[in-house]
């Protein structure tokens, strides 16, 4: 099996390489090596069985003031990549996000077939537009995921978990405030990577899937679980509202996804991420 991974230096791209099945021939491309919004650069991807696109502009707040950069990577890039994959005869697995859902959502796990509504952020709108460019294309599967973390497994990749680990191991008298009215699915990057390799092994898969950790939590609940796993006092984490923590890009209040495949429960992932284990 020959597989090309784009966004190879990111959290997911790195985890995909760590979890690759034996006898898989991988060609890994970082964003610095290959810009998916550049048609000419895409010709560097030679014929293979599957292309996994883990490349994305994910700076949610910065996207609000840098729309062209977000659109180039999240919207234009996937369309050009899909065309190239058709040319070389490769299946495409494209990674998307819970941010494609707009703010008015039913308070239940959201299914792939649920209407997204209008996303509230530039990032979300650019990712949704990228999804739409792929609809109806043969041999393309879009996978939405959410709240991805790696913690001590990939310490060079800063994420919510690594931030909470740093705070948990700092001043024991310091109180940490974390938003407690946003709900989602914490997803350990290893579990996501393994689920994607399962999709690679399948000859056919649905056009649109959700892959997230089992269960739901708020950011505050996630933070307290991290403190608990570290051996710090979880009561140091004080809940606050979204209104008390303003950001340039509004965060979804509800982006709990119904996973298309069963991934491990999120607390199990937190423990492994804190201990740096697969």
Q: Which residues are catalytic?
A: 123
Positive or negative: CA dihedral 71, 72, 77, 79: positive
CB atoms within 10 A of CB 133: 19
Token pair 């740093």 in the structure block, residue = 166
Cα distance between residue 175 and residue 14, in whole Å: 33
Token pair 């990057």 in the structure block, residue = 189
Nearest to 48 by CA among 112, 3, 113, 115: 3
Token pair 């649905």 in the structure block, residue = 206
């Amino acid at each position: 099996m020959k597989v090309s991974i784009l966004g190879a230096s990111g959290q997911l791209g790195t985890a995909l390489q760590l979890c690759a099945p034996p006898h898989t021939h991988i060609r890994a491309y970082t964003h610095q090596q290959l810009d998916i919004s550049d048609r000419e650069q895409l010709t560097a991807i030679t014929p293979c069985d599957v292309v996994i696109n883990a490349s994305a502009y994910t700076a949610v707040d910065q996207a609000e003031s840098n729309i062209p950069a977000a659109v180039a990577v999240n919207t234009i890039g996937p369309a050009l990549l899909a065309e190239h994959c058709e040319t070389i005869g490769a299946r495409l697995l494209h990674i998307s996000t819970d941010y494609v859902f707009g703010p008015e959502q039913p308070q239940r796990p959201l299914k792939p077939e649920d209407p997204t509504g209008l996303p509230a952020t530039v990032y979300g709108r650019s990712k949704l537009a990228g999804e739409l460019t792929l609809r109806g294309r043969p041999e393309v599967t879009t996978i939405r995921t959410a709240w991805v973390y790696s913690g001590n497994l990939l310490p060079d990749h800063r994420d919510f978990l690594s931030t909470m680990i740093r705070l948990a191991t700092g001043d024991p008298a310091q109180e940490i405030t974390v938003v407690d009215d946003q709900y989602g699915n914490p997803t350990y990057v290893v579990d996501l990577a393994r689920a994607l390799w399962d999709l690679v092994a399948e000859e056919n898969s649905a056009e649109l899937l959700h892959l997230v950790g089992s269960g739901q939590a708020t950011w505050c609940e996630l933070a307290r679980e991290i403190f608990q796993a570290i051996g710090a006092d979880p009561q140091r984490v004080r809940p606050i509202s979204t209104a008390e923590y303003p950001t340039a890009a509004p965060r979804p209040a509800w982006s709990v996804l119904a996973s298309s495949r069963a991934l491990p429960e999120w607390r199990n992932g937190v423990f492994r991420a804190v201990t740096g284990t697969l």
